[in-house]
């Protein structure tokens, strides 16, 4: 290991908060980069190692412009091609699913094409396609379609040839013609579109923006007159609920719709608006939605979605496929049934299939089954066995997305690569963490260098090599604390991670709070829940635990929250509910921690007052980068210019006018203690606390961000670059800074995601502070340190998917440790 070729070495890394450090990683080993949140781990691996690997690789093709910035470092030695697997959502297409990405669905299509059976549509006798294909193929015309057909071996009548394409919902041959292979349709939601108690003039059609009534009102009157429907201009003031049904139909669907044609068959539709042509409020909404959606199918138009709802396609019943494809079966199972089952259940189906196939059929598909089995077992090994093949990418968490890509890496059998992963244990039950570690070791043993950013102490212990960045976060981080074996890390006195390894982290909370019955959930049966009866205790911290897919989120979000308004017993004990989940704070980079918590409003006000003291007349809006006035107009306040790249994702260059500062010169002249507004946006929460320590209104909001372990993030860091865990904690901090009173129910979905052990301890203190204020806290969680410190635990299981959905244990942490039914007890 003394040979330079055995190492990847980064020298003089100075990007962001890194302090000119030199780091090396052994080749063909499993290395873990650890350290407190915000210490510089991601900067080292993603902003330097991965970005430079990509830059050099593309540079070899001669396509990198001179102005694409090189990361700030001196030298990198021993660099190989890099595959980076981050937690960012990389595919938002609703057609992309777990099955399509993993290629499992491709192999199922091959299997069904090879040995599928189908009843003849004419004589109803079962036909094996392996026999059918021995017959010659013919083409026939069916309306506008030209079909390939075989002759049924029994009745000799034509039977459509079903190919692989017929089993794909992404092809014209296979996709349902009603929903185009999506399995769902978008339809109007009349509960949000309409307020029947109001008139049209009073805004009863809520989808019409202000001023639309003045345009559509006269058109509607003209259309009604054309069809001889008694409706005059003064009737625009009549509550919509009191209008005749035919008038409501005209109002919603317009003159071109078949509903009106059915009611007025003798009247052709008016030719133009002068004659009475009118589109209809609902049809206008649907047209505008589809026109914009067709420009980019992966985007749901947020402007219209409040007035629309998804419904199961009435033609394919959500299966996505045409009827002919659904009639083909293997072992009496149509392909869509496998698509909706969990991957673990599919694994069992594959194992049982051999006993149900003839020898010739089994031999014919043995290679297909082998490849299918390999991919299915790979997903199980990375802890994704509970997912179904039809889960779309847009519904996966960052951790699930990353482990799906890890599975694809394992299946690729690539060697000689550098594989960089970002906290792959995110969202994993301790039982599944063991499987993940084995998968990472397998990726290493294939001949790859595996480098992982991780906080999980179990993975740190199993690493071949550890790099600890710290000692603190932000400006106090960026130093190399130690690099070496896990034992060397544990013995390093100034390492925060080493201290956590030395500590006894298994201490269980000895609760003094009484856990009394509070909110009952009765006969819960959503998704995989098996008629669950359970009570959520109040005025304590309750942890909902269980393996992935066991029903934790379903129990809280689908049962407790969705049924809250249905006169739930005990709801009088709660004044309000606050849900803090991992959903994004905003898709646009203009949103950040400062704007979300509203602390930026107070900061802008402080700068306005400072400007007035300096004799400069300015408003608080002048210090906003979102509106014209004080922002740089060249970059519109973003601080950068978008550069489109051929064949590559767009790059962003620093704005040459404001040099990335977002504001014009006049605004930047206003300073508080030597810092202008642009400087403040570049500050971490801790730095801003020091600057505004005497301004109570600003300080109060910043204190909670720091208290909850976010002292390292920059105030101006774009929301779309924050992890789900960071976004969740910003929401929680915003709530803490403004909340007052008692009897609030806080529901948090894995709040410890992305947190170092030390920062998890801070989070636990904050959650207990909420309870001490007289509130109730429910956390859905996998992190053992947080679970051990709960007052009450409800464990779902015993497995995921169809094997879950039951309460297998509940009680205090101490009680669960002695419960034989508990899956988590060995880890407590």
Residue 367 sits in the same domain as residue 404: no
Residue 390 lies in a domain: no
Predicted pLDDT of residue 1: 45
Residues 492 and 541 in one domain: no
Quick one: three-class SS letters along 284-345? HHHHHHHHHHHHCCCCCCCCCHHHEEEEECCCCCCCCECHHHHCCEECCEEHHHHHCCEHHH
766's tokens: 């904050």
End-to-end CA distance of the chain: 38
* Cβ neighbours, 10 Å, residue 301: 16
pLDDT at 583: 67
Q: Answer whether residue 580 is part of any domain.
A: no
Q: Domain boundary residue among 668, 688, 723?
A: 723
In this structure, are 567 and 638 located in the same domain?
no
- Residues 727, 729, 734, CA angle at the centre, nearest 5°? 95
Residue 415's domain spans which residues? 4-86+397-502
User: Tokens at residue 433, please?
Assistant: 């963490």
Number of domains the chain is built from: 5
Residue-level pLDDT at 300: 47
Question: Is residue 328, in this structure, part of any structural domain at all?
Answer: yes
User: Within 10 Å of residue 405's Cβ, how many Cβ atoms?
Assistant: 22
Q: Compute the distance between CA of residue 641 and CA of residue 748 in angstroms, rounded to an integer.
A: 37
Q: Are residues 602 and 714 in the same domain?
A: yes
| Token duo for residue 695 | 């301004």
Judge whether 738 lies within some domain: no
Residue 587, C-beta contacts closer than 8 angstroms, at least 6 positions apart = 719, 720
Same domain, 597 and 687: yes
Note the pLDDT tens digit of each residue in 740-775. 668 899 999 988 888 888 888 888 998 998 999 899
H or E stretch including 813?
A: helix 813-817
What is the reported pLDDT for 299?
A: 45
Please give the Cα distance from 685 to 697 (Å, whole number).
15
Nearest residue to 2 via CA among 34, 31, 24: 24
pLDDT at 297: 46
Question: Is residue 191 domain-shared with residue 307, that is, in the same domain?
Answer: yes
- The CATH number of whichever domain residue 708 belongs to comes to 1.20.1580.10
Rounded to whole angstroms, the Cα distance separating 473 from 476 reads 5
Q: Which CATH number fits the domain that encloses residue 535?
A: 3.40.50.300
pLDDT reported for residue 589: 67
pTM for this entry:
0.78
Which phi-psi region, left, alpha or beta, contains residue 434 (left: φ > 0; alpha: ψ -120 to 50)?
alpha
- Pair (753, 815) in one structural domain: yes
Question: Is 66 domain-assigned?
Answer: yes
pLDDT at 140: 77
From CA 623, how far away is CA 676, in angstroms rounded? 10
Question: Quick check: 771 and 541 in contact, CB under 8 A?
Answer: yes
| Predicted pLDDT of residue 702 | 94
Structure tokens at 401: 């997305």
Radius of gyration of the CA atoms of the chain, in A: 31
> Among residues 266, 289, 311, which one ends one of the domains?
311
The answer to whether position 525 is within a domain reads yes
Q: CATH number of the domain at 288, please.
A: 1.10.8
User: Domain check: are 357 and 459 in the same one?
Assistant: no
Residue ending a domain, among 655, 690, 723, is: 723
The secondary structure of residue 175, as a DSSP letter, is B
Do 144 and 32 lie in one domain? The reply is no
462 and 411 co-located in one domain: yes
Residue 145: alpha-carbon gap to chain centroid: 40
Beta strands in 413-477 (DSSP E): 418-422, 449-453, 465-470
d(CA 800, CA 803): 5
Phi, psi (deg, nearest 5) at residue 707: -65, -30
pLDDT of residue 298: 43
* 731 domain-assigned: no
- Res 4: pLDDT: 67
In a domain? residue 582: no
Q: Do 603 and 712 belong together in one domain?
A: yes
Residues 172 and 102 in one domain: yes
User: How many residues does the structure list for the chain?
Assistant: 828
With CA atoms as reference, report the closest residue to 610 among 598, 625, 622, 599.
Answer: 622
Mean pLDDT by 10 residues, the chain (828 residues): 79 94 97 91 93 81 64 92 76 81 94 91 85 71 75 87 90 90 91 92 88 87 93 93 93 91 89 91 87 55 79 94 93 93 92 90 92 93 89 81 87 91 88 89 95 94 96 87 94 88 74 78 90 93 92 91 74 86 66 90 95 92 92 92 63 88 94 96 93 93 88 86 77 78 88 86 90 93 92 93 91 92 91
């Amino acid at each position: 290991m003394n040979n330079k070729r055995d190492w990847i070495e980064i020298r003089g890394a100075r990007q962001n908060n890194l302090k000119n450090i030199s780091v090396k990683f052994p080749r063909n080993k499993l290395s873990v980069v650890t350290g407190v949140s915000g210490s510089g781990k991601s900067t080292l691996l993603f902003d330097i190692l991965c970005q430079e690997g990509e830059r050099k690789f593309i540079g070899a093709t001669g396509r990198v412009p001179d102005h694409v910035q090189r990361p700030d470092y001196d030298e990198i030695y021993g660099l190989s091609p890099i595959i980076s697997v981050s937690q960012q959502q990389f595919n938002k297409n609703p057609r992309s699913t777990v099955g399509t990405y993993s290629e499992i669905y491709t192999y199922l299509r091959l299997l069904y094409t090879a040995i599928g059976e189908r009843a003849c549509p004419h004589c109803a006798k079962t036909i094996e396609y392996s026999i059918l294909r021995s017959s010659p193929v013919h083409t026939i015309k069916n309306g506008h379609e030209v079909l390939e057909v075989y002759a049924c071996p029994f009745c000799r009548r034509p039977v459509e040839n079903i190919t692989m394409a017929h089993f794909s919902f992404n092809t014209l041959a296979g996709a349902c013609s009603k929903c185009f292979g999506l399995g769902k349709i978008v339809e109007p939601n009349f509960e949000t579109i309409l307020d029947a108690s109001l008139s049209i003039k009073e805004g009863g059609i809520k989808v019409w923006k202000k001023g639309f009534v003045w345009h559509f009102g006269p058109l509607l009157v003209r259309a009604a007159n054309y069809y001889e429907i008694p409706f005059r201009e003064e009737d625009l003031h009549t509550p919509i609920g009191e209008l005749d049904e035919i008038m409501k139909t005209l109002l919603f669907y317009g003159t071109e719709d078949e509903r009106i044609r059915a009611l007025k068959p003798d009247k052709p539709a008016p030719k133009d608006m002068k004659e009475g042509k009118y589109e209809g409020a609902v049809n206008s909404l649907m047209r505008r939605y589809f026109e914009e959606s067709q420009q980019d199918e992966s985007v749901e138009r947020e402007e219209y979605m409040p007035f629309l709802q998804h419904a199961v396609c009435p033609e394919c019943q959500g299966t996505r496929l045409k009827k002919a494809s659904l009639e083909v079966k293997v072992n009496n199972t149509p392909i869509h049934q496998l698509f909706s089952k969990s991957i673990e259940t599919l694994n069992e189906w594959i194992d049982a299939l051999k006993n149900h196939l003839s020898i010739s059929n089994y031999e014919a598909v043995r290679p297909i089954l082998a490849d299918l089995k390999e991919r299915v077992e790979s997903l199980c090994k990375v802890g994704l066995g509970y997912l179904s093949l039809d889960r779309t990418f847009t519904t996966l968490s960052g951790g699930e997305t990353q482990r799906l890509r890890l599975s694809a890496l394992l299946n690729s059998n690539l060697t000689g690569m550098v594989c960089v992963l970002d906290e792959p244990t995110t969202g994993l039950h301790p039982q599944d963490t063991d499987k993940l570690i084995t998968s990472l070791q397998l990726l290493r043993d294939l001949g790859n260098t595996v480098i992982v950013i991780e906080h999980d102490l179990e993975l740190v212990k199993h690493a071949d090599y550890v790099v600890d960045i710290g000692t603190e976060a932000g400006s106090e981080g960026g130093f190399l604390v130690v690099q070496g074996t896990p034992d060397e890390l544990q013995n390093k006195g100034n390492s925060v991670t080493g201290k956590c390894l030395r500590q006894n982290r298994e201490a269980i909370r000895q609760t003094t709070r009484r856990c009394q019955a509070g909110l009952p959930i009765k006969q819960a049966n959503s998704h995989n829940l098996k008629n669950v009866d359970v009570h959520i205790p109040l005025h304590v911290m309750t942890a909902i635990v269980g393996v992935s897919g066991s029903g934790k989120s379903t129990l809280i979000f689908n049962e407790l929250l969705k049924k809250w308004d249905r006169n739930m017993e005990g709801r009088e004990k709660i004044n309000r509910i606050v849900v803090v989940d991992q959903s994004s704070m905003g898709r646009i980079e203009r949103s950040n921690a400062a704007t979300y918590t509203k602390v930026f409003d107070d900061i802008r006000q402080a700068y306005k007052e400072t400007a007035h003291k300096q004799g400069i007349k300015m408003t608080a809006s002048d210090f906003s980068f979102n509106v014209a006035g004080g922002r740089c107009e060249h970059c519109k306040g973003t601080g950068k210019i978008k550069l489109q790249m051929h064949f590559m994702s767009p790059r962003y260059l620093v704005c040459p006018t404001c040099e990335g500062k977002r504001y014009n010169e006049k605004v930047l002249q206003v300073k508080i203690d030597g810092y202008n507004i642009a400087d403040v946006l570049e500050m971490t929460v801790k730095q801003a606390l020091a600057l505004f320590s005497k301004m109570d209104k600003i300080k109060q909001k910043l204190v909670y961000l720091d208290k909850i372990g976010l002292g390292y993030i920059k105030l101006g860091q774009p929301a779309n670059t924050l992890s789900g865990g960071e976004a969740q904690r910003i929401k929680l901090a915003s709530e803490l800074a403004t909340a007052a009173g008692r009897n609030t129910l806080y529901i948090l979905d894995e709040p410890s995601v992305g947190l170092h052990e030390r920062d998890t301890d801070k989070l636990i203190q904050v959650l207990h502070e909420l309870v001490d204020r007289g509130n109730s806290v429910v956390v859905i969680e996998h992190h053992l340190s947080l679970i051990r410190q709960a007052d009450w635990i409800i464990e779902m299981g015993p497995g995921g998917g169809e094997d879950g959905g039951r309460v297998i244990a509940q009680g205090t942490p101490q009680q669960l440790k002695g419960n034989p039914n508990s899956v988590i007890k060995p880890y407590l």
